[in-house]
Amino acid sequence: MDKQTLFSSFGKWVLPINAVKLQQRIDEMDQDKYVKKLTTKAYLLLFLHAQLQQREGLRAIADDVLSKKFQRELGVSSISPAQLNRKNNRVDPTLLEKIVVDFVGQIPFSSGFYYFTCLL
């Protein structure tokens, strides 16, 4: 898979994230208060990309930011594994939970599937 395909498909993959709603939640929870470099939105996109690419470890994730095109997408010029670790520890899990709930809410469920999941 070449880089052009990767970034265009990644962009389509994260498109369902409502950027306005996400920013409102970040502001409500003061997630980016005093943040200079790695915003919560950039962190989220970076870790979604890492999940999609099956990266193992913070060092491999930080290495992805060496790509100039990816730097432009994230708005980050470089990042270290230590910075990723600190951000990981600071991000409120309820914010991530709300994002997942938003994603799941966009999935069109058939009535049979809904019935099956209610039985679980």
Q: For residue range 60-77, what is the model confidence (pLDDT) as tens digits?
A: 999 988 888 888 878 888
pLDDT tens digits for 1-58? 444 444 566 667 676 677 788 888 888 888 888 888 888 888 888 888 888 889 999 9
pLDDT tens digits for 86-117? 998 988 898 888 887 877 777 776 555 555 45
pTM for the model stands at 0.72
Strands of the chain, DSSP E: none
Number of domains comprising the chain: 1
Contact 40, 31 (CB under 8 A): yes
Q: What CA–CA distance (Å, rounded) separates 45 from 38?
A: 11
User: Domain residues for 88?
Assistant: 3-119
pLDDT at 64: 86
